[in-house]
Amino acid sequence: MDRGFVVKGGGVMRILQTPCFVSESFDPADGELACGRIQYEATWDTGAGTSLITQRIVNECGLKPIRSSKLQSVSGVQKTEVYLVNIYLPGNVLFCKIPVVRGDFSHGRWDRIVGMDIIGAGDFSVRNRNSVTEFSFTVREAE
């Protein structure tokens, strides 16, 4: 069964955002995680090669790094850490055991960036019709 969602703005959207939940990485087949999942605002960014999270998410979810990494951004190169998380998007879209990089978004209005590692795993579409932005994301089940 395909899973996905459509977001329709009240006008032209300059930033594509959805709510999302984040938790420690675990296999849902083993049951629910004791600490549960926490809701954040996610920004969809086709210019980001990988998905990112803030230090706030690391702290609130009690995440432990799996390795060090370097992050290239408009601010330059910074040393950072990689974490494994589960990401719950609207429309019952779930990504398990996804590596994400911690980034510094102190200038932004979001806690999470959905990058091309997730966007590229589904069908992503953005359109503007009559000055109203609509975007959709669908993950197709393997045949």
As averages over each run of 10 residues, the pLDDT of the chain (143 residues) reads 93 94 86 77 92 92 92 78 95 94 73 93 96 96 73
* pLDDT of amino acid 1: 80
Given this model, what pLDDT does residue 19 score? 94
CATH classification for the domain delimited by 3-139, as one of 2.60.120.560, 3.40.50.720, 2.40.70.10, 3.40.630.10: 2.40.70.10
Distance CA 53, CA 101 (A): 6
pLDDT for position 21: 94
CA–CA separation, 116 vs 127, rounded Å?
A: 18
Q: What are phi and psi of 119, to 5 degrees?
A: -55, -40
Q: Rounded to a whole number, what is the distance in angstroms from the first to the last CA of the chain?
A: 10
pTM of the model: 0.88
pLDDT for 26 equals 85
**What is d(CA 66, CA 111) in angstroms, rounded to the nearest whole number?**
20
The closest of 120, 85, 78 to 103, measured between CA atoms, is 78
CB-CB contact of 36 with 22 (8 Å): no
AA identity, residue 19: P
Residue partners of 135: CB distance under 8 A and separation at least 6 = 6, 7, 13, 16, 44, 124, 125, 126, 127
Backbone angles phi, psi at 33, to 5 degrees: -75, 140
Q: What are the residue boundaries of the structural domains of the chain, listed by start?
A: 3-139
Q: Coil, helix or strand for 78?
A: strand
Residue 112 amino acid letter: R
Residue where the block lists tokens 């979810």: 61
